[in-house]
DNA sequence: CCGGATCCAAAATGATACTG
DNA sequence: CAGTATCATTTTGGATCCGG
């Protein structure tokens, strides 16, 4: 994707391509949850593994690497025994965390309604089959 | 993605906040972009395919099915020639669109900074290898 | 023609074993 | 503790065919 960057005054809704590019940063299953669990301060690898329960060790590594590469968090290694690696949001990471707050609140507020919608949809007799892979 | 939405294993109580469960709704590559492109009114399948360029026909179908099932949008079929299927946000879908606005704006505002961070990271001599799959 | 379903190849992901 | 290597499973994308 191009290195061209727009001015900060650009409003959302004017540049679909770039929006798509950056949604690639957080548009996966784990990134937003990792960011969320770092919002209260630095965390170690295993602490995150427990907090974001359900994530595999491999995907936590991959997700953290990606967020570090994107400048969302920092990775600090202390060469001691046992090893100690801590992850912390950068200033930009904290702005991301703030930007995702409404979405997380929406999730919590609407999960019940969505359960209902799913049940109603699955009860429909004319439900189309989902294409397989 | 569509097949994994709300499996039977996602019972209430497994996750105290349940944010993970609901992030499964929009935590994929395409859902937020589809919702975004429906914010200005109903759109047809092919219009969405063009707007969310890069999405495959199959993934658009799967994503739309999932969002319909979750009560985010409605699917209206008119049996005419040529076929006419239009998708439109529900009231709940519109609240989701509002909740995602800050994130989309953040994306546009920070894409340049992220490009820089990636370049700096890739220039580091000690970049760890990413685990393969 | 438009919307969608199926088959196949590629990529992403999860589980497990192993290492410093 | 914090990863890495490897393999099995799942998801995604492209091409193609189908129904109206």
Domains in chain B and their CATH numbers? 16-123 (1.10.10.10)
* Cβ of residue B46 lies below 7 Å from strand C: yes
pLDDT class of A104 with cuts at 50, 70, 90: confident
| CB-contacts to strand D (7 A) | A 44-47, 57-58, 61, 64, 75, 77, 82-86, 132-133; B 1-4, 28-30, 55-59, 62, 79, 81-83, 128-129, 131-133
pLDDT digits (tens, 9 = 90+) for B14-51: 345 566 666 777 778 889 889 999 999 999 999 999 88
Distance B123 CA to D2 C1' (A): 24
Q: How far from B33 is each of A56, A80, B75, B119, CA to CA, in Å?
A: 27, 45, 17, 26
Q: Which two tokens stand for residue B85?
A: 């299927």
CB atoms near residue A112 (< 10 Å): 12
* Cβ of residue A132 lies below 7 Å from strand C: yes
DSSP classification of residue B3: G
Show the low-confidence residues of chain B (pLDDT under 70): 1-22, 127-133
The three-state secondary structure class of B45 is helix
A114 touches chain B (CB under 8 A): yes
DSSP classification of residue B107: H
Strands (E), B3-129: 43-44, 73-78, 84-89
* Cβ of residue A42 lies below 7 Å from strand C: no
Regarding beta strands B43-44 and B73-78, do their DSSP bridges make them parallel or antiparallel, or are they unpaired?
Answer: unpaired
Q: Which pLDDT belongs to residue A1?
A: 35
């Amino acid at each position: 994707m191009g290195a061209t960057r727009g001015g900060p005054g650009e409003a959302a809704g004017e540049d679909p391509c770039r929006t798509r590019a950056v949604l690639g940063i957080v548009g996966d299953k784990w990134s937003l949850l990792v960011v969320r669990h770092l919002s209260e301060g630095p965390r170690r690898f295993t602490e995150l593994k427990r907090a974001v329960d359900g994530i595999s060790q491999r995907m936590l590594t991959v997700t953290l690497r990606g967020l570090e590469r994107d400048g969302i968090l920092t990775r600090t290694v202390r060469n001691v025994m046992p090893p100690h690696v801590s992850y912390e949001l950068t200033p930009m990471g904290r702005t991301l965390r703030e930007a995702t707050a409404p979405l997380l609140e929406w999730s919590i507020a609407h999960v019940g309604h969505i359960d209902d919608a799913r049940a109603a949809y699955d009860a429909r007799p004319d439900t189309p089959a989902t294409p397989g892979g």
